[in-house]
């Protein structure tokens, strides 16, 4: 395979053509005249073509040199266009932010973040992918997303994290459920009730199971659904108690569609976390989104 030309050699040749002498071209390139002369002689040797005729008045292109200079112009221009295009791509990448967001955060917090981001940083182009917390961690770890927002204190391998804020889970039932009139229930009652729950891997499910586990109570779940709305509708229809974020249940509790039940002996508070790949810094765009998210919790 023929050796590819050195772009610096091509540019040096074009500088000789533009400035009329090797000395002037050397100055433009930050070289001494002997260095530039040796470099051009080397270039001619590699090509096997005489490019320049050196005279006391300067350097003139040979017939072959004129052809090579035309090709050099095309090659150098293409290289410059390539460099500029990559710079544009890199800058665009810095302005894009791909975020993975767990379901409760996506439904109740992320819309506010996007509104603030659009107002304060209209140059940014955020895109959100919604998944459960484990799924968000996978998206960030694989590089599909630049940053993730999860609703569980689970530490995911390969990811760094920092605390964003938190909320708490609430147990809710239909108004005609026996628990609706109870002062409170216990963790044992909660675990054995056949709760309507989110799927394994969700931050809500992780928090519930961890809280019950601290009391030595296993979770014996009832119907498992991946949608908060479906869980609330099922609870309102009397299919069983539901455990969801207070953010998700706020409207149903305020309107009386569901009734909150106190649990006497477990803590259902939880933390939200920002996650990103270990040993990698957040992009400027991702940092801007994280900053706006922090404002939600006074950070």
Beta bridge partners of 60: 53
pLDDT exceeds cutoff 70 at 113: yes
Q: Once rounded to an integer, what is the mean pLDDT over residues 128-140?
A: 95
pLDDT in tens, 17-28: 888 888 888 888
When pLDDT is cut at 50, 70 and 90, the band that residue 169 belongs to is very high
For 218-232, the pLDDT digits (tens) are 999 999 998 999 999
Q: At 202, list the tokens.
A: 């969700």
For domain 7-93, give its CATH number from 3.30.1490.20, 3.40.1180.10, 1.10.10.10, 3.30.930.10. Answer: 1.10.10.10
pLDDT computed for residue 82 by the predictor: 76
At residue 128, does pLDDT exceed 80? yes
Please determine, for residue 171, whether its predicted confidence score (pLDDT) is greater than 90.
Answer: yes
Percent of the chain with pLDDT over 90: 60
Domain boundaries, the chain: 7-93, 98-293
Closest CA to 14 of 52, 50, 46: 52
Contact 266/129 with Cβ under 8 angstroms? no
Report the DSSP pairing between strands 242-245 and 159-173.
Answer: antiparallel
Closest CA to 245 of 157, 135, 171, 195: 171
Q: What is the pLDDT of residue 92?
A: 47
The pLDDT tens digits for 89-98 are 555 454 688 9
Q: What is the pLDDT of residue 251?
A: 95
> To which residue do tokens 């477990």 refer?
266
Q: Which of 241, 291, 287, 234 is nearest to 113 (CA)?
A: 291
Strands 269-277 and 242-245: unpaired
Answer whether residue 88 shows pLDDT above 70: no
Residue 47: per-residue pLDDT: 85
pLDDT digits (tens, 9 = 90+) for 49-72: 898 888 777 788 888 888 888 888
**Residue 223's pLDDT is what?**
92
Query: Which pLDDT tens digit goes with each residue over 143-162?
Result: 999 999 999 989 999 999 99
Report the C-alpha gap between 147 and 61 in whole angstroms: 56
Q: How confident is the model at residue 1 (pLDDT cuts 50, 70, 90)?
A: very low
For residue 87, is pLDDT > 80? no
Query: Above 50 in pLDDT, residue 212?
Result: yes
pTM of the model: 0.68
Average pLDDT score over residue span 180-191: 96
Is residue 3's pLDDT more than 50? yes
SS3 at position 295: helix
| CA distance linking residue 139 with residue 94, whole number of Å | 19
Q: Give the mean pLDDT of the chain.
A: 89
pLDDT computed for residue 86 by the predictor: 63
Note whether 283 and 146 are within 8 A (CB): yes
**How high is the pLDDT of residue 95?**
60
* Percent of the residues in the chain that have a pLDDT greater than 70, as a whole number: 95
User: pLDDT band for position 207 (50/70/90)?
Assistant: very high
Mean pLDDT of 267-290: 93
pLDDT band for position 83 (cuts 50, 70, 90): confident
The correct CATH number of 98-293 out of 3.50.50.60, 3.40.190.290, 3.20.20.70, 3.30.70.100 is 3.40.190.290
Take residue 295 and report the two structure tokens written for it.
Answer: 């404002």
pLDDT of residue 22: 87
Q: Give the list of residues 6+ apart from residue 6 with CB closer than 8 angstroms, or none.
A: 43
Give the C-alpha separation, 247 to 195, whole Å.
19
Same fold, 7-93 and 98-293: no
Half-sphere exposure of 133 toward its Cβ, with a 13 Å CA cutoff? 26
In the DSSP assignment, the letter for residue 234 is H
């Amino acid at each position: 395979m023929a050796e590819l030309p050195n772009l610096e050699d091509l540019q040096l040749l074009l500088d000789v053509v533009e400035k009329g002498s090797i000395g002037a071209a050397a100055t433009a390139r930050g070289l001494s005249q002997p260095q530039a002369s040796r470099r051009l002689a080397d270039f001619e040797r590699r090509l096997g073509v005489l490019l320049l005729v050196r005279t006391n008045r300067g350097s003139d292109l040979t017939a072959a040199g004129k052809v090579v200079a035309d090709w050099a112009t095309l090659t150098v221009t293409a290289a410059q266009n390539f460099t500029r295009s990559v710079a544009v791509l890199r800058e665009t990448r810095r302005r894009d932010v791909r975020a993975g967001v767990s379901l409760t955060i996506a439904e109740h917090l992320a819309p506010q973040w996007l509104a603030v981001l659009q107002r304060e940083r209209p140059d940014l182009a955020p895109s959100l992918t919604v998944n459960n917390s484990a799924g968000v961690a996978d998206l960030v770890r694989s590089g599909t997303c630049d940053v993730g927002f999860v609703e569980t204190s689970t530490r995911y391998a390969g990811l760094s994290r920092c605390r964003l804020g938190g909320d708490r889970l609430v147990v809710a039932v239909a108004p005609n459920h026996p628990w609706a009139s109870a002062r409170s229930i216990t963790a044992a009652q909660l675990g054995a009730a056949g709760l309507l729950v989110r799927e394994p891997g969700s931050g809500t499910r992780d928090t519930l199971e961890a809280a019950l586990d601290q009391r030595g109570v296993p979770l014996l779940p009832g119907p498992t659904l991946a949608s908060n709305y479906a869980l609330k509708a099922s609870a309102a229809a009397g299919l069983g108690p539901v455990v969801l974020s207070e953010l998700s249940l706020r409207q149903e509790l305020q309107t009386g569609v569901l009734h909150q039940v106190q649990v006497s002996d477990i803590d259902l508070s939880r933390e939200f976390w920002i996650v990103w790949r270990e040993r990698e810094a957040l992009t400027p765009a991702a940092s801007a989104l994280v900053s706006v998210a922090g404002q939600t919790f006074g950070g």
